Amino acid sequence: MIDVQGEIEQGPFRRYAEIVAESLVRVLGISPSDAERIGADAGKWPLFPDSAAALARLRRIAPCAATTNSDRAHGEDVQRALGFRLDGWVCAEDVQAYKPDPRIWQAAAERLHVAPGRGWWHVSAYADYDLRTATDLGLTRVFVERPHRRPGEADHVVPDLAALADLVEGD
């Protein structure tokens, strides 16, 4: 599924909801109308159980923002599910580009007034492409071993965000 989404993202810009829908039709043979509904609801997909509490812990230490290939509406849904707003939601819909395009990170740097560097920790389950750009930008790379993970090089490897919060609180 992720590979098909990446392939679609190589073409002209489209909203993430559309990319999800097309990938579901192509990979799983889901009807276009069902696929559109699922894509539109991507921000309502269940959070990992550790996410809200761990992000709240991390936000007490440093700002936390999402850099994502998703849409603005998905960000509103996710933040509602978390029960709080992140310090930023920088999405492909705003930038008109998809990660690993460095413009996503440039937009985050501008919005959050943070220069790329080792003090910026980029956390991802997609180390094969997401953390590659983080490497190029000199960021600290954290790989989260989620079930859908795609391994690659990282400075820190954690099983979930709760373990990341433990790591950061221990520093």
Q: What is the pLDDT of residue 147?
A: 87
CA separation (Å) from 20 to 69, 70, 101, 142?
11, 10, 19, 25
Q: Could you tell me how far CA 69 lies from the centroid of its own chain?
A: 7
The full DSSP string for 106-171 is: HHHHHHHT--SSTTSEEEESBTTTHHHHHHHTT-EEEEE--TT-B----SEEESSHHHHHHHHHH-
Instruction: Enter the pTM of the model.
Output: 0.89
Average pLDDT per 10 consecutive residues for the chain, totaling 171 residues:
88 93 96 96 93 97 94 95 96 93 95 94 88 92 91 93 95 65
- Could you tell me if 24 and 36 are in contact, meaning their C-beta atoms sit under 8 angstroms apart? no
Give the domain ranges of the chain.
2-40, 44-170
d(CA 106, CA 95): 10
pLDDT at site 171? 65
Buried b (16+ CB within 10 A) or exposed e, 142-155: bbbeeeeebebebe
Q: CA neighbours within 13 Å on the CB side: how many for 39?
A: 23
Whole-number pLDDT of residue 135: 92
Mode of pairing for the β-strands spanning 121-124 and 140-144 = parallel
Any idea which fold 44-170 has? Rossmann fold (3.40.50)
Element (H, E) at 80: helix 72-82
Q: Which amino acid is at 149?
A: R
CA dist., res. 149 & res. 124, Å (int): 8
